[in-house]
Amino acid sequence: MAATSRGTTPVPPDVRPRLTVLSGPSGVGKSTVVAHMRKVHPEVWLSVSATTRKPRPGERHGVQYFFVSDEEFDKLVANGELLEWAEFAGNRYGTPRRAVADRLEAGEPVLLEIDLQGARLVRESMPEAQLVFLAPPSWDELVRRLTGRGTEAPDVIERRLEAAKIELAAEAEFDTTLVNTSVEDVARELLALMEVA
């Protein structure tokens, strides 16, 4: 899972980019912002998580996720090879530490899109990381986005809304807050925070 070396020389620590962590409540548009940003700036490296869940149709190992067995995941945890990890719906997800470190060493901007629990764990293991909170324009707008998907049962939506209240209350733990009124604007602000030219 570790990134392969591309023969780059390490960047002096004083000019090395920081890891940027993007987090926020479910339905706020994190994935949409990241997809737009990477279309405009493909040089921004988005960390690929390891997961124990099975691939969905069209997903490829090493692209959407690194698909690993429970035993392999146990080894990653035991060996301290994950920056953070969590369990959702019976599957585990985690961020490979070495791949992130290799990209930062090479002077590349690295973005990590994860939930609140993961952001807190990254802050513990990498205090120099920049934590960015993506907030909705309003609570009503977040409710509209979550219910407007039309893909989830009412009880699932209710759980997501309860979780969103907790996540919104954690905004003060982050270094910066961006309000998602426009995907293009937020992507531009995020790039500026990452100091991507």
Which residues, 6+ apart, have CB-to-CB distance to 88 below 8 Å? none
25 is in an annotated binding site: yes
29 is in an annotated binding site: yes
> Is residue 79 a contact partner of residue 91, using CB atoms and an 8 Å limit?
no
User: For residues 134 and 155, what is the distance between their CA atoms, to the nearest angstrom?
Assistant: 24
148 is in an annotated binding site: no
Q: Which amino acid is at 134?
A: L
The residue to which tokens 């301290």 are assigned: 80
User: For residues 123 and 111, what is the distance between their CA atoms, to the nearest angstrom?
Assistant: 14
21 is in an annotated binding site: no
28 is in an annotated binding site: yes
> Is residue 160 a contact partner of residue 28, using CB atoms and an 8 Å limit?
no
User: For residues 188 and 197, what is the distance between their CA atoms, to the nearest angstrom?
Assistant: 10
User: For residues 184 and 39, what is the distance between their CA atoms, to the nearest angstrom?
Assistant: 11
Number of helices and strands (H, E) in the chain? 7, 9
> Is residue 180 a contact partner of residue 28, using CB atoms and an 8 Å limit?
yes
26 is in an annotated binding site: yes
Q: Which residues belong to the annotated binding site?
A: 24-31
Q: Which residues belong to the annotated binding site for ATP?
A: 24-31
